[in-house]
Amino acid sequence: MADKTPVNRTTSRNVAAFLQQAAKTPMRAPDGKNGRLIFAMDATASRAPSWLQAMGIQAEMFQEAETVGGLDVQLVYYRGLMDFGASPWMSDAGRMVGLMRGVAVMSGNTQIERMLHHAVEESKRGKVNAVVFIGDAVEESADLIAAAAGQLALRGVPVFVFHEGGLEPAGAIFRQIAQITHGAYSKFDARSPQQLRDLLKAVAIFAAGGRKALEDFGRKAGGLALRLTHQVGGGA
């Protein structure tokens, strides 16, 4: 059945064409063994370097997830004047990279509350194991964002927030999202690609294999990945 997730009309022609083709791909059965991860990114103008980094890490994310069960990913992004896109669920890194290549960053305001509400709706359609969000700024009401995070917490979906630069006051709001949903928060430096690589691998492992698999990965990878493990579920 074709995916019915709406994609904003202002999405580029390349992205629209990709989504149309991807929607024709048979979706996995709801009781499939793969974990499901919403991969959400701020695609406003300041995000270009991190977007390219994340695109380069996709294959490694899927490979790590395969070691503990496999992963289906939905790409979600916002940019420009209320441009908001959501792909069908995919289990292939090549298709994900193809979509990301078609998305050009564009100046605009953040849409974090909208992203969280989208995740809530997706979780009503089928189990969502985790949401990962990569961003650097917040331009919305902290109270509205917290309320949306609370709805996601009621669905049992943790949010892993990866904060480029770690500047305040965005950091406080991002940490609150992670705390409310029993997820985790980590800042990273875009000049150190290995940091983002380890963090994204860790979330892929969690979505595919659960907390035990994340703990095993954290001990192996150390650094930010290990600290991320300690936060999940309200830990230190």
Rounded-to-integer distance, Cα 32 and Cα 80, Å: 36
The residue type found at 21 is Q
Tens digits of per-residue pLDDT, 110-158?
Answer: 999 999 999 999 999 999 999 999 999 999 999 999 999 999 999 999 9
pLDDT at 7 over 80: no
Tens digits of per-residue pLDDT, 164-184?
Answer: 989 999 999 999 999 999 999
- The average confidence (pLDDT) of the chain is 84
Residues 6+ apart with CB under 8 A from 194: none
pLDDT at 51 over 50: yes
Omega of the bond prior to 169 within 30 degrees of 0, cis? Answer: yes
pLDDT at 30: 42
Report the predicted TM-score, pTM, of the whole model to 2 decimal places: 0.83
pLDDT at 10: 38
Structural domains for the chain: 34-231 (3.40.50.410)
